[in-house]
A and B are shown apart, each in its own frame.
Chain A
Amino acid sequence: MELIIALAIGIVFGSGIWLVLRPRTFQVLTGLLLMSYAVNLFIFVIGRLWIDRPPLTPGPALPDPTTVADPLPQALVLTAIVIGFATTALFLVLMIGARGVTGTDHVDGEEPDR
């Protein structure tokens, strides 16, 4: 289970790195998105992989912390998703703006000399 998750995160992040190093802004954006997905998954699994552990919910008695899932990574990943989504949307707007003003989608804002 751990191995599969680790491999999945690694493959997604690796693809992201490759795309970020490409010269077109859309590839860079896709790469950043893939990397942020991988990081979100990674934060989620640092609470350890368990089966049959309910989330922490209010109840009549004090819960036993060994029987519930760690709630903190879930809170962290929610925040990270929101922030990542917002900043990526901003980057997308900028990308479209740059395409309109410079007439190219190269990250340097100009086509390289061939």
Chain B
Amino acid sequence: MSLAWSQHLIVAPVLLPLLCGALVVPFKESRHRLKFAVNMISVLCLFAVAVRLLVMTDNEAWPQGIGVYLAANWAAPFGIALVADRLAAMMLLLTSLIAGCVLLYSAQRWSRIGVHFHSLFQFLLMGINGAVLTHDLFNLFVFFEVMLAASYGLLLHGYNVARLRAGIQYIAINLAASLLFLIGVALIYASTGTLNMADLAVRLPHAGAHQLPLLQAGAAILAIAFLVKSAMWPLGFWLPTTYSAASPPVAAMLVLTTKIGPFVILRVWLLAFSSAAGVSSGFAFDLFLWGGMATVVFGAAGMLATDVSERLAGYGAIVSSGILLAVIGYGQASLVSAGLYYLLGSTLALSAFMLLLELIERFRSPGAAVLALTMEAFAVEEAPGEPVGVGIPAALAFLGMSFAACALIITGLPPLSGFVAKFTLFHALLNPPASAVTAKTWVLMALILLSGMAAIISLLRFGVRTFWAAGRVAQPRLPVTEVAPICLLLGLCVLLTVQAGPVMDYLVRTADDLHRPQQYIERVLSEPAVPGMQGKGDAR
């Protein structure tokens, strides 16, 4: 007896990038078309798998819409379980969409300024997808490391002095955070004897008084490791430097990896420290709330203070991370669905913004972008040179319009998805299910509005300086492959706005799932191993 083929779809988002990434390693850099083709096919397959998983979880093809895949056929909690639920399917879809756009963008030039871009790109996708799917804390560490190792390589892709400097700090802080991750996982195992998240949620309420300090210390240290990744103040000083040093496609992917931190906190904390967790329920939620708000203040101040466009985008990512953390820490189910909508819109817009900034830079100072590339460092045989191919007409108008669209979403002004996101956030904040509106609600709302204001001022300043006060500029030549991804990302934001109703319905169902930890516990721990293939060791 074997599993249905649809069951294997859950592990496909991890295996496919691994195989495709390894497949293109032996080919020389001169075969970049082949490498690009393999990479693109893999991303398209990932997109198809993500759509299929989204449909299956939402139509409840599995009981309660939670698919469980037991790695190596060991039943949970002894083996590693991969779990596909609505939240995971949504993140997989977002990952594949952004990856597809970024890959298309990098095809013309950026993938060729160094070696092994396509392999590293696939390994990054593997790490992200694995971290999204896994239901085991130590396995989460492994996928985090895969993701980070690939991101180290990508950050240094086409290396110059700025990237080396940023890389040293980025790698050092992430190595230290990984050590904290390990300590946290070890403490949790020492006190509860399990690493499976669902099993942890079962055992947590029964933790005795002598285990509790160790357990909570472990959870707190684990939280710090995640918060470094999500760039919470004061752990996020690495982010603007790293984003501004990385090449634009890599920066767009880093926007996505920064969202994995809040995602993991959402997953682990709502499952293990829910209201059913006894004395530990609600542990560290206040830290996320106030820390998130401090992050919003820091990001907004950074946006006002900087006049380097890439750093501006980096601080924008910090603000969006802060809002997400505050939303999670607020601890209200209706707010989580609004927060997820905000996550989708802001991630798409910030990725598009990262790509757009480079095109804008190209006409502000022609030739500067080319100087930034260091070809000599690697023996890359074929220099990509100036952008070739047919330029699109009215390039300047396109840049201006796209910039305006990105700015509208990041600041949260109507009519695009940023406004819908902030409106639903405020709606949820002002309509609490039971208790009255408290002081922290007003503080959070004021901070979200003020951060929007700071974003308006700084983006307007940048826009005016770039598009109006630039004097006579030559029309830049923008190849279609670099314009299309930006259009696609912004088109997705428009789609998100137009289809806000169905999307919100889906996200409400997602948030409801997350607030019913009992059904994860039931599904994960009761998933049977396939009989007949089990216990080879016992049979000897």
A residues at B contact (CB < 8 Å): 20, 25, 28, 32, 35-36, 39, 42-43, 46, 58, 72-73, 76, 79-80, 83-84, 86-88, 90-91, 94-95, 97-98, 101-102, 107-109
Contact = CB atoms under 8 A, between A and B. Distances in A.
**From DSSP, what is the main secondary structure of chain B's interface residues?**
helix
A94 B168 contact: yes
Contacts of B182: 39, 43, 80
A45 B343 CA distance: 40
Contacts of B165: 98, 102, 108-109
A46 B179 contact: no
A72 to B, nearest CB: 7
A109 B162 CA distance: 9
19 contacts: A20-B172, A32-B172, A32-B176, A39-B186, A42-B186, A43-B182, A46-B189, A58-B540, A76-B186, A79-B142, A80-B182, A84-B178, A86-B149, A87-B145, A88-B175, A94-B168, A97-B159, A102-B164, A107-B172
Contacts of B138: 76, 79
Contacts of B142: 79, 83
B536 to A, nearest CB: 11
A19 B254 CA distance: 29
Given A28-B172, A83-B142, A87-B178, A46 B186 contact: yes
A6 to B, nearest CB: 13
A108 B186 CA distance: 33
B273 to A, nearest CB: 21
Contacts of B160: 101
Interface string B154-179: 00100111001101110110011011
B145, B156, B165, B175, most chain A CB atoms within 10 A: B175
Given A28-B172, A79-B138, A86-B149, 5 more contacts: A46-B186, A76-B185, A87-B149, A87-B152, A87-B178
Contacts of B9: none
B187 interface: yes
Contacts of A109: 161, 164-165, 168
A97 B195 CA distance: 38
Interface residues of B, number: 31
Q: Is the interface of A mostly helix, strand, loop or mixed?
A: helix
Contacts, number: 86
B164 A58 contact: no
Contact of B156 (A35, A42, A94): A94
A28 B169 CA distance: 10
A83 B144 CA distance: 11
Interface of B: 138, 142, 145, 148-149, 152, 156, 159-161, 164-165, 167-169, 171-172, 175-176, 178-179, 182-183, 185-187, 189-190, 195, 537, 540
A90 B178 CA distance: 15
A91 B190 contact: no
Nearest to A83: B145
A95 B160 CA distance: 13
A73 to B, nearest CB: 7
B189 A73 contact: yes
Given A35-B179, A39-B183, A90-B152, A46 B168 contact: no
B211 to A, nearest CB: 13
Most buried by B among A46, A72, A79: A46
Contacts of B167: 94, 98
Nearest to B139: A79
Contact of A42 (B176, B183, B540): B183
Contacts of A20: 172, 176
Nearest to A110: B165
B122 to A, nearest CB: 18
Contacts of B186: 39, 42-43, 46, 73, 76
Given A43-B182, A86-B149, A90-B171, A72 B176 contact: no
A101 B169 contact: no
A41 to B, nearest CB: 10
Given A97-B159, A98-B164, A107 B145 contact: no
B86 to A, nearest CB: 30
Contacts of B164: 94, 97-98, 101-102, 109
A18 B161 CA distance: 27
A36 B176 CA distance: 9
A35 B178 CA distance: 11
Contacts of B161: 101-102, 109
A86 B148 CA distance: 12
A27 B338 CA distance: 45
A77 B160 CA distance: 36
Contacts of A83: 142, 145, 178
Which 7 residue pairs across A and B have the least CB separation, nearest first? Answer: A109-B165, A46-B190, A98-B164, A43-B186, A46-B186, A83-B145, A39-B179
Nearest to A109: B165
Nearest to B540: A58
A72 B80 CA distance: 13
A91 B178 CA distance: 14
Nearest to A48: B190
A58 B537 contact: yes
A72 B189 contact: yes
B283 to A, nearest CB: 20
Contacts of A95: 168
Given A79-B142, A83-B142, A87-B149, A94 B171 contact: yes
A1 B189 CA distance: 21
Nearest to B164: A98
Nearest to A44: B186
Contact of A91 (B159, B172, B189): B172
Nearest to B174: A87
Contacts of A79: 138, 142
Contact of A90 (B149, B190, B540): B149
